[in-house]
Amino acid sequence: MGNKILMKGAEVLGEAAVKAGCRLYFGYPITPQNEAPAYMAKRLPEVNGTFVQAESEVAAINMLYGASAAGHRVMTTSSSPGISLMMEGVSYCAGAELPVVIVNVMRGGPGLGGIGPSQADYFQATKGGGHGDYKIITLAPTNLQEQADLIFKAFDLADKYRIPVMILSDGLLGQIMEAVEYKDEIKPEDLAKKEWAATGRDPKREKNLINSLDLDLDGLERHNHKLQKRYKEIENTEVMCEEYKTDDAKIVVVAYGTTARIAKTAIDKVREEGLKVGLIRPITLWPFPSENIKNALQKENVKAFYVFELSAGQMIEDVQLCVNAKKPVNFYGRLGGNVPSPDELAEKIREIY
C-alpha cells in the first residue's frame, strides 16, 4: 500500500479523471459532490486543462457534447437533480455516438429531495433517462479505490464503444475519505487518435459530421440497428460482478455500491452465527450481470434472494427478470437519504433464513 493517499470521495473522482487523461471538466455545483468541481478548478490548470463552471447543468452536458465531438476526454459530475437536467444532452450524446463520462453522486429524491446518500436513480441510469432507444454503460463503485479504478475504466469503455458512461456513486461515497492508489497515469497525447472526431477540415479524408438528427426514416432505422448491435456486444463482453461467499449460500443477497459494503458486514455477522449467506454485487448495472443471478438460481443450495437498495426497489426488477418467479426475491430498502446499519440488514436476513 506504498503510494496510497487519503482523499475525499468527490476529489478522487477528479484526480482519477486527470490521471486517466481527462483535461476538460464542465459542471455546476450541487451537494454532495461540490468537492469534485472545486478540486478540478484547482487541479486542471496545473496540467494545462480547462475547468468551466457552466451556467447550468444543461449547459454543462452540452459543453461535454462539444468537447467530445472534438475528440477530447471530458467529464462532468453532479447529483440527482442536476443529472435529471442533463438527460436531454445524454440522449444527444448517445445518438451522436459521443464518449463522455458522467458521474452521478446520488442523493435522496424525488425533486430537490435532500443531501443524504441514495440509490433511487437506478432506473434513470440503466433504463434510459432521456428519450429514444439508447443505453449507457453504468458502473457502480463500492469503495473509493474502486471509484478511482472505475473512472479509468469509464473513459476506456466510452472511447471503445463511443458511448456515454455513467458512474453511479452516492452521497456516502462522495463524502467519505479512504486511502486510494492510482494505478496508472495516462497522458492525453498518448491516447489513440479519434479518426471520427471533428478536428477541422482535412481534404485527404471524408468530412466528419457529429450529429444526432436524421430525418430519413430508413437512415435513422439503420442507425438505431447499429446502436442496438453495439449494445448487444457490450452486454456480451463488458459485464463486471463480484461474488462474495456465494458457494454454499442458502440466501443470496444482491446489492451494489454503498449498500453492498454494508451488506458484506451484515453477511460476516450472520455467518458467525452459522447462517449461510452470500452476496452478488453488480459492478456494471448496465450491462446487468444476469448470468451471475441465473447461475445462483440453478444451484440447489440457494433458496431465496434478498435485494437491498437505498430505494423503494429498482434493481430488484432486473433480479426478478432473471429469477423469473422460480425462487422468492425479497426486498428491503431505506429511502430519502437514510442508510441502513449492518445490524439492520443482518436482522432482515435472520427473519427469512
Partner 1 sequence: MNFELCASGFGGQGVMAIGQLLSYAAVRENKFTLFLPSYGPEMRGGTANCVCMVSDKEIGSPVTQTHKNAIVMNTPSFTKFEPTIIKGGNLLVNSALINDKSNRKDINVFYVPANHIAKEAGHQVAANIVMLGALLKIENVAKYETIEQVIKEKFVAKGQKVIDINFRALKMGYDSV
CB nearer partner 1, residue 343 or residue 351: 343
- Cα 112–chain centre separation: 21
CB of 268 to partner 1, least distance (A): 7
Stretch that binds partner 1, among 97-105, 154-162, 229-237, 340-348 (CB under 8 A): 340-348
Is position 177 an interface residue for partner 1 (rule: CB under 8 A)?
yes
Query: Is the Cβ–Cβ distance between 12 and 144 less than 8 Å?
Result: yes
Q: Which of residues 255-314 bind partner 1 (CB under 8 A)?
A: 258, 261-262, 264-266, 268
User: How far is residue 31's CA from residue 279's CA, in Å, rounded to a whole number?
Assistant: 31
Is position 176 an interface residue for partner 1 (rule: CB under 8 A)?
yes
CB of 84 to partner 1, least distance (A): 22
CB nearer partner 1, residue 1 or residue 209: 1
Q: Which of residues 50-89 bind partner 1 (CB under 8 A)?
A: none
Cα 221 to Cα 212, 215, 216, 225, distances in angstroms? 13, 10, 9, 6
CB of 119 to partner 1, least distance (A): 14
What is the phi/psi pair of residue 338, to 5°?
-85, 150
User: How far is residue 60's CA from residue 77's CA, in Å, rounded to a whole number?
Assistant: 10
**Bridge-partner residues for 331, per DSSP?**
307
Q: Please tell me whether the peptide bond between 37 and the residue prior to it is cis, using omega within 30 degrees of 0.
A: no
Q: Which string of b and e fits 46-74 if b means at least 16 CB within 10 Å?
A: eeebebbebeebbbbbbbbbebbbebbbb
Residue of 155, 198, 149 whose CA lies nearest to 178: 149
CB nearer partner 1, residue 178 or residue 235: 178
**Among 47, 112, 179, 352, which residue sits at the site for partner 1 (rule: CB under 8 A)?**
179
CB of 141 to partner 1, least distance (A): 13
* Total interface residues for partner 1 by CB under 8 A: 26
**Among 41, 339, 350, 353, which residue sits at the site for partner 1 (rule: CB under 8 A)?**
339
Query: Is the Cβ–Cβ distance between 265 and 319 less than 8 Å?
Result: no
Q: Which of residues 221-250 bind partner 1 (CB under 8 A)?
A: none
- H-helix segments, 162-256: 171-175, 217-237
Residue of 177, 286, 171 whose CA lies nearest to 238: 286
CB of 65 to partner 1, least distance (A): 35
Stretch that binds partner 1, among 57-65, 215-223, 322-330, 339-347 (CB under 8 A): 339-347
CB nearer partner 1, residue 32 or residue 37: 32
CB nearer partner 1, residue 51 or residue 306: 306
CB of 269 to partner 1, least distance (A): 10
CB of 145 to partner 1, least distance (A): 9
Q: Is the dihedral of CA 144, 169, 75, 192 positive or negative?
A: positive
Helix (H, G, I), strand (E, B) or coil at 142: coil
Q: Which of residues 91-130 bind partner 1 (CB under 8 A)?
A: 115-116
User: How far is residue 313's CA from residue 88's CA, in Å, rounded to a whole number?
Assistant: 25
Interacting residue ranges for partner 1, rule: CB under 8 A: 1, 4-6, 115-116, 143, 172, 175-179, 258, 261-262, 264-266, 268, 339-344
